[in-house]
Structure 1
């Protein structure tokens, strides 16, 4: 997706992010700008998967709420990433309701399936596609699967954090993400990218 490297950097920045948030809560505007710089790319990618071309507007609304309620936040850098994702999701759902486009209800199995490892070949395949194209493919998934994949791969949340954002059990989120990644693997085959991350030449997936 062009985002896997970004995800690794986001996690590496969580210490810096936590420090910036603490300073921002004390009124340091420059520190708030640092927190914004670290969080915004992943947050915007997540919102693009939910609301498409309206992501910038929804992100602006979310950051207004984040700034307003910053003093209420308690936690570290990773926690802040999850907190901001929750706010952004609420604003995205409000936006969809205003458009009278409601998320599809999907019955999730409660069995526990593990996501692929950090260096999974599927996520390498995600990297081999353009960000815009990959996000379009993810947006075509059932909503529960799309959100699970976006939160895990784009925003960089761990399983429990993603589950808290979605208000679901971790096992249900892992199931949705696993199914979404499997479906994307099949789509990548049709795009000329095999599940092992290599490209095909003149062959159908």
Structure 2
């Protein structure tokens, strides 16, 4: 869904249209989940749930278009992720959680979905190896599709710094992928 369509769906959701909210969720959630997986890994589903709770709670106060909505959602997700990291560092988990398989939202066939999940997992694993500023910039620019100024707003940095971090991160990823193909 394009920014204009997303903005229209958000406006209808704010007016109480549950179907429009479903469209917003189906469009934004996979990108938001990818961003969170890049930030915090396996706990992304829980943090995404907290993020959507906050989005629903504050949706009436949101003002802006589709791109602004994605930026707003990413900001909330980032704050939830940082809160989670602080909680875990104060009270580390002592047991391993069972891995859960998220149900796909798309209508892909099983083979296509499996290939997409493998490539997504590999991409997120490679992004996770980047320095944090580069990883976040790549996730916001590529996974969530935010422009430089919006990504900068989410990160509290200047747009030029975010563009540079994203460029360096993508360059490193390209070099890693080129090196892996040569082997």
Matches within 5 A, 1:39-118: 39-100=28-89
Q: What TM-score do the two structures reach when normalised by structure 1?
A: 0.73
Report if aligned partners of 1:139, 1:146 keep a CA contact under 8 Å in 2. yes
State whether structure 2 residue 12 is matched by structure 1 residue 23: yes
Q: What TM-score do the two structures reach when normalised by structure 2?
A: 0.82
Q: 1:179 aligns with which of 168, 175, 179?
A: 168
Report if aligned partners of 1:13, 1:38 keep a CA contact under 8 Å in 2. no
Q: 1:97 & 1:64 partners in 2: Cα distance?
A: 20
Matched length:
157
In the TM superposition, what is the alpha-carbon distance from 1:190 to its structure 2 partner?
2.4
Q: Tell me which of the two structures has the higher relative contact order, counting C-alpha pairs closer than 8 angstroms and 6 or more residues apart.
A: 1
Alpha-carbon displacement from aligned partner over 1:101-136 (angstroms, at most 9, x marks no partner): 9xxxxxxxxxxxxxxxxxxxxxxxxx9x81110110
Secondary structure, in 3 states, of the residue corresponding to 2:121?
helix
Q: 2:33 & 2:133 partners in 1: Cα distance?
A: 18
In the TM superposition, what is the alpha-carbon distance from 1:173 to its structure 2 partner?
0.5
Tell me the residue number matched to 1:117.
Answer: none
Q: 2:31 & 2:144 partners in 1: Cα distance?
A: 4
Q: 1:179 & 1:165 partners in 2: Cα distance?
A: 19
Report if aligned partners of 1:148, 1:162 keep a CA contact under 8 Å in 2. yes
Q: 1:36 & 1:155 partners in 2: Cα distance?
A: 13
Runs of 5+ in structure 2 lacking a partner?
91-115
Tell me the residue number matched to 1:131.
Answer: 120
In the TM superposition, what is the alpha-carbon distance from 1:13 to its structure 2 partner?
2.3
In the TM superposition, what is the alpha-carbon distance from 1:99 to its structure 2 partner?
1.4
Q: 1:150 & 1:81 partners in 2: Cα distance?
A: 12
Tell me the residue number matched to 2:180.
Answer: 191
Q: 1:157 & 1:163 partners in 2: Cα distance?
A: 9
Cα-Cα RMSD? 1.5
Q: 1:172 & 1:59 partners in 2: Cα distance?
A: 27
Q: Runs of 4+ in structure 1 displaced over 3 angstroms?
A: none
